[in-house]
Structure 1
Amino acid sequence: MNFLKRALLSTVRKKGKSIILLVVIFILGNLMAGSIAVKQATTNVEETIKNKLGAEARVDYDWNNIGEDDDIPQLDQETVDKIGKLEGVKYYEYNLYTWLNSKEYESYCGPDCTMGGMGEGADFEFYGVQIPSIVDISENKIALSEGRVFKQNEIDEGKPVALVSTLFAEMNNLHVGDTLSFSMNVYSWEDVDDMGYPKVVSTKDYTFELIGIFDASLSVKEETDDNMGMVDYSMTQRIYVPNNVITSINDWSYEENKKFNDFGEEYENFTEIIPTYYLKDASQLDSFREASADLLPKGFTMSISSDAYDSVAGPISFISWLATGILYISIGATILILGLVVILFLRDRRHEFGIYLSIGVKKWKIVAQVVIEVLVVGIIALTLSLFSGKELANGVSQKMIEQQVINNDNGMIYYATGPGGGGSGYVDQNEVLDTYEVTLDADYIVMLYLIGLGTLLISSIAPTVYVVRLKPRKVLM
């Protein structure tokens, strides 16, 4: 009779010991299965949310490394281009901006809310772009609904052409081909009115051809109790123009301000270049940040879109940390407890093993028999714990998450590293928690069997040293 057949017969005949072993492994297996299931669920949440946040990296000021007496650092075009050549970059963009005034148009700020069209008018954000196709369209933050995007010569030459949102166009009865009229006002802080407001001392009118209308609804979330009505409508008010248009407007404003205001010798025509890099894959964000750190001058740092996840993932991170700890503890407990149980069973079988040795059975075959007996029972117990461990993990983790949310003061977090802070990088804590789900998927099953069987092998092999040290004559005397 070979050792495999002996192992199977021993498992069947010694039902009491097999059941005890099954129960022990099942209980410990539930701990491993539950912690693995939770770990897989939290990993899936992280991947899903980070993919939703996109693969964007934005250069920001590092105020911790800028002293009070230091000048505000500037980023030159050469550095911007060098970082843009790093591995994984799909394309990059930087955006200049300014504000122009209009007494003709109303500004959309939400349902039943409008601003402008009376008195001094309203100010509108003019947002410069360098890439003709408009990155916000490529990144699905807005969608072109009418007209066209920019042409390369319009970008290069700073042509007065613009795109506005559908809400802005509808509110002001605008269509593709219309002419938009705005003005830049310069105020004198030396000459104020009776209310203390500075007077307008210089004005320049600007007209733009409306070449396109975009839908910004992709970047606007509905007002709900979850986000407490904190809805960002900035994308609906944005007006896209070439970067060079912004430069010429700001240059004129700078020269006029020097005429009417004494801002001191330190007043400079400062052009702020803050680039955003769009990567091919969100998994490359961390390595890209490390690589760009060597190229960025002092005073700058790189923030990545996945940073937003850490702001809202408190309950999930805690559960993930706890699951990892329980997994390590359960593995150690399984090896220790199961090892002791196997040793106790082996002591009762000393004469059996002594007979095997006396008739010439190799010690490795006896060891293999013990391992097989443990594995047969262990596989059955692990299979049962697949389902019960999942349900246990789901119930316990949901309760813990609910308690964490109650104790967490962060209701809704908005964060985006894309240009202007708009777009897909909108994440609230409830969205993160809704993504959390414990599932019986292939990764969970494979992981449980790999860890479980590995633990069983260690637990059963270690005590077999006891068998190897057996002396047939002493055992049978």
Structure 2
Amino acid sequence: MNFVKRAGTSLRARKSKTAALLAIFVVICTLLLGGFLLQTAAARQEADAQRSIGVDVTVKQKGFTPVLADRLGAFESVNRYNTELAVRAGARNVVPLTSDAPKPGSTKAGGKDHAPEPLAVTGVRDSGMLLPFSYGSTKITAGRGITPKDADADVVMVEQRLADANRLTVGDTLQVRSADGRRTASLTVVGVFQDPTRDPSEWAPPQELPGNALYVPVGTAQQLGATGNPTVVEAVYRIGSPERAEQLHAEAERLLGAGGFDFRVNDKAYKDQVRPIQQVGAFAGLVVWVVALAGALILGLIVTLQIRERRAELGVLLALGEKKWRLIAQHAVEVAVVALPAVALAALGGHLAGQPAGEAFLGGQGDEPVAAGDAPHAVKVEPATVEVELAAVGKVAGTGLGISLVSTVIPGVGILRLHPRSILTDTE
């Protein structure tokens, strides 16, 4: 009889033991599938966290120009970056805010300062990367922030107090003149923000009042600067992981010169959010290995007991001329036939319980805003999505068949050393 047919006959004849073997295999395959799904979900969430959080690297240098900042931002490891220029500008069609406290040497409150540049203008490439905005302390109350798409646009963000005093809303036009008075820029208000910083209790010039702060694109700030090429105060580059900081540092040395710049890495947000996800992924990998080894050991013991119980059957088959390798193959087929429906049942269980289990392990990693520096970061990682994919089922099937092969071949080695007479006469 063909050993495959003989395996089917044996399984039907031992229904209770076949059911027990199936139950064991279902447990093993379910745990394996859970480990694979958790690994995949952790890797997906880690990638999302790297894209949304990343590691912020701040670069400062005397004479750091926007051109050099853009060249460094074009490096392949940089996902997002912002450059920051600080200039002063004069007001044309708006009235700047003034301090309510008396100016030193004056007895009147609200002393006027006729400084030619009463507005503090900051040129940015991406306002969302500014610390006050990313931490959430400074909020946009109307409109939007400045993005890289605004590089060639004449747009501006104004503070809420200046907007209220001059009745400015999104879409209005704000005219400012350069520090040397030679150029005038007409800027469209695209956003209104609210800075929580209070006005100083003592007198301060208008350009130092938080309400007189404006944010414009870097190109606009360059046009308004007193010099033809104002330098960058600082540039912040977001990379995927701390390991890439060394690559960025090497690129900065190539562009800016070795040792001639300040390079600071802030990876606290990354560590707070990504490292726990990596630990979950490592734990899932450990679960897979433990389950595979334990499953092979348990099934190996079961097959060993079955071989001992079926010694008479083996002796008769060997006496009839059956080859030893075919007897081992029969046991392997019996276990493999049980493994396949176990994989299907495990896949069904993973589809029903995979998402709740994934949220239990990974859901808490993205529930709270992560910390960066000394303030809460506004970035939030989305909860992990656990899906039973064909690749994961294939891994479970391959691992399960590998376990079935190992658990039958190793115990079956003993059959190769026996002869029909020794099997039939051995009563143990």
Q: Fold conserved (TM > 0.5)?
A: yes
Deviations 1:276-323 (A, max 9, x none): 488xxx6xx67754433434345755759x974443356645543433
Deviations 1:200-257 (A, max 9, x none): xxxx76864125554589xxxxxxxxxxxxxxx99x95222426447636999xxxxx
1:2–1:271 CA distance, 2 compared to 1 (3 A): same
In the alignment, is the contact (CA less than 8 A) between 1:308 and 1:427 conserved in 2? no
The normalised TM-score by structure 2 is: 0.65
Q: 1:240 — aligned with what? A: 217
Q: 2:95 — aligned with what? A: 104
In the alignment, is the contact (CA less than 8 A) between 2:90 and 2:177 conserved in 1? no
SS of 2:217 mapped into structure 1: strand
State the Cα distance separating 1:361 from its structure 2 match.
2.6
State the Cα distance separating 1:370 from its structure 2 match.
1.4
Letter aligned with residue 379 of structure 2: V
Q: Distance in 1 between matches of 2:339 and 2:181?
A: 81
State the Cα distance separating 1:82 from its structure 2 match.
7.8
Q: Distance in 2 between matches of 1:14 and 1:288?
A: 59
1:149–1:73 CA distance, 2 compared to 1 (3 A): closer
1:302–1:365 CA distance, 2 compared to 1 (3 A): farther
In the alignment, is the contact (CA less than 8 A) between 1:339 and 1:459 conserved in 2? yes
Q: Distance in 2 between matches of 1:275 and 1:436?
A: 29
Q: 2:416 — aligned with what? A: 468
| Match 1:438 to one of 383, 386, 410 | 386
State the Cα distance separating 1:397 from its structure 2 match.
5.1
Letter aligned with residue 248 of structure 1: A
State the Cα distance separating 1:340 from its structure 2 match.
0.9
In the alignment, is the contact (CA less than 8 A) between 1:312 and 1:427 conserved in 2? no
In the alignment, is the contact (CA less than 8 A) between 2:119 and 2:214 conserved in 1? no
1:472–1:76 CA distance, 2 compared to 1 (3 A): farther
Letter aligned with residue 226 of structure 2: S
Q: 1:45 — aligned with what? A: 45
Q: 1:33 — aligned with what? A: 33
Q: Give matches, 1:443-462, under 5 Å.
A: 443-462=391-410
1:213–1:458 CA distance, 2 compared to 1 (3 A): farther
State the Cα distance separating 1:376 from its structure 2 match.
0.8
SS of 2:40 mapped into structure 1: helix
- 2:328 counterpart of 1:326: no
Q: Distance in 1 between matches of 2:417 and 2:270?
A: 55
State the Cα distance separating 1:79 from its structure 2 match.
8.1
- 2:9 counterpart of 1:9: yes
Q: Distance in 2 between matches of 1:444 and 1:237?
A: 52
In structure 2, the gaps of 5 or more residues are 99-109, 130-143, 194-209
Q: Distance in 1 between matches of 2:158 and 2:70?
A: 34
State the Cα distance separating 1:333 from its structure 2 match.
0.9
| Match 2:122 to one of 109, 121, 126 | 126
State the Cα distance separating 1:360 from its structure 2 match.
2.9
Q: Give matches, 1:169-180, under 5 Å.
A: 172=166, 173=168, 178-180=174-176
Q: 1:372 — aligned with what? A: 333
Q: 1:266 — aligned with what? A: none
State the Cα distance separating 1:125 from its structure 2 match.
4.0
After the TM superposition, which of the residue ranges 285-294 and 466-475 deviates more from structure 2?
Answer: 285-294
State the Cα distance separating 1:88 from its structure 2 match.
6.6
Q: Give matches, 1:345-356, under 5 Å.
A: 345-356=306-317
| Match 1:383 to one of 344, 356, 374 | 344
Q: Distance in 1 between matches of 2:70 and 2:356?
A: 51
Deviations 1:327-349 (A, max 9, x none): 22211211111111111111112
In structure 1, the gaps of 5 or more residues are 62-71, 108-117, 152-161, 184-203, 218-232, 253-269
1:142–1:468 CA distance, 2 compared to 1 (3 A): farther
SS of 2:155 mapped into structure 1: strand
Q: 1:164 — aligned with what? A: 156
| Match 1:209 to one of 178, 185, 202 | 185
Q: Considering only aligned residues, what root-mean-square deviation do their CA atoms show, in Å?
A: 5.0
Q: 2:247 — aligned with what? A: 291
State the Cα distance separating 1:387 from its structure 2 match.
2.7
| Match 2:369 to one of 412, 415, 421 | 412
SS of 2:226 mapped into structure 1: helix
After the TM superposition, which of the residue ranges 359-368 and 95-104 deviates more from structure 2?
Answer: 95-104
Letter aligned with residue 164 of structure 1: V
State the Cα distance separating 1:10 from its structure 2 match.
1.7
In the alignment, is the contact (CA less than 8 A) between 1:125 and 1:239 conserved in 2? yes
Deviations 1:40-84 (A, max 9, x none): 222222233334458x874547xxxxxxxxxx8887999868856
Q: Distance in 1 between matches of 2:406 and 2:192?
A: 59
SS of 1:238 mapped into structure 2: strand
SS of 2:285 mapped into structure 1: helix
In the alignment, is the contact (CA less than 8 A) between 2:89 and 2:225 conserved in 1? no
1:178–1:95 CA distance, 2 compared to 1 (3 A): closer
Q: 1:20 — aligned with what? A: 20
Q: Distance in 2 between matches of 1:73 and 1:149?
A: 23
